[in-house]
Amino acid sequence: MPALRRGPSPVTALHVRSSGLPRLLGRRALALIAVSLVATGLAAVLRAVNADAVPTFVAATISLASLAALVGEGTEQLGGRLGPGATGVLQSALGNLPELLISIFALRAGLVLVVQTALVGSILANSLLVLGLAFIAGGARHGTQRFGSDQTRMMSMLIVLATAALTIPELATIAGAPDAGHARGLSIIVSVVLLVVFVASIPFSVGGGPGATAIGSSVERHAWPVGLAALVLVVAGLLSALASEWFVDSLQPAMATLRLSEAFVGLVIVAIAGNAVENVAGVQAALRNEADLAVSLILNSALQVALALTPALVLISVVMGGAALTLVLPPLLIAALGLSAVLGALIVVDGESTWLEGIALVGLYVIIAASVWWGAPLQP
């Protein structure tokens, strides 16, 4: 009589599943998880022992940057099962979660200028710094790269719209202007309009039309189970909430110690920690000569901040009470947005990119960042 064949014991099966988890996650995700846990744990310990504000600030910044990248990884894994268009919508909803949390805690602390400059800084970091680095990397390796001009024209048009929407409240509320004294009311109206435009773009995104916010990559990725992707998003979201609070609590003492202005911290540090690290994927796509994917990822991230995150925070500040976030921005930030929109449109409208165009984009970003380095007050 032949011997009965037995399956693996529960203990053996559990060992196989647990040993296969690192392979399932992939090296990038494992690295992000390790950095996130170490940095978040370090920030928690430093806060518990009342350490100096600067080490706590640095640890919280690293934690937020790695968690932002981890949220982006989990979002892409979860959304990848829904199709490219729906993935873009999901990225819009979850991709800026760390920056949203930072802004909410900063508003509660009365740091309105930090929030305003961080939102503008996120737009500039994506449309100038990250896009420029992608063009430099891709151009240096592959020469002139080409991408869909129809899609980039649509994104350029929306960026110009967002820039105009963020410019008009300042012009309309200056002394002697017709809306003087009504900055908050006008900001609410503009925010509602921007959210309507964002919602109207969702059908294009889901349908994969000219407004699509994601393009599939030809590079094979590790496929996570839905439960694992959801778990990563939940844990990363909770840790982001904690790290955001620690980041904001240590922000003002660290600025005083390092002699950094609110404008520089918001425009550069907060913007990069909460948003730009996630878009390393755009630079990697350019290196793989996937210019369509690179431009789509990077410019749509800037659009998400301009059309969704910024107006949402204006409305949230109304509900929260306390410090009011308006769209009445300092003139320097308005000029920076306008110049970046013009330069970006001129560069991408032909559907081609070179490393020299990338240097031009990065150069403008460095000039704007340097303009707030010395801490000159920015007042609307």
- Tens-digit pLDDT string for the chain (380 aa): 444 444 444 444 444 444 466 666 777 788 888 888 999 999 999 998 988 888 998 998 888 888 877 877 777 777 666 655 555 556 656 667 777 888 888 888 888 888 888 899 989 998 999 999 999 999 999 998 988 767 777 888 888 888 889 889 888 888 777 777 788 889 999 999 999 998 887 776 555 544 444 444 444 455 778 788 888 888 888 888 888 888 888 888 888 888 888 788 888 888 887 665 556 777 888 888 888 878 877 888 888 889 989 999 999 998 887 778 999 888 888 999 999 998 988 888 888 889 999 999 999 999 999 988 875 445 44
State how far the Cα of 88 lies from the Cα of 307, in Å rounded to an integer: 14
104-78-105 Cα angle (round to 5) = 5
Long-range pairs for 319-326: beta carbons < 8 A, 24 or more residues apart:
320/104, 320/107, 320/108, 322/107, 322/108, 322/110, 323/107, 323/108, 323/110, 323/111, 323/112, 324/112, 324/184, 325/107, 325/112, 325/115, 325/116, 325/187, 326/169, 326/183, 326/184, 326/187, 326/380
Strand 352-353 relative to strand 145-146, pairing:
antiparallel
How far is residue 151's CA from residue 154's CA, in Å, rounded to a whole number?
A: 5
Give the model's pLDDT for residue 355: 93
Q: How far is the C-alpha of 187 from the C-alpha of 119, rounded, in Å?
A: 15
User: What is the C-alpha separation between 297 and 134, in angstroms, rounded?
Assistant: 11
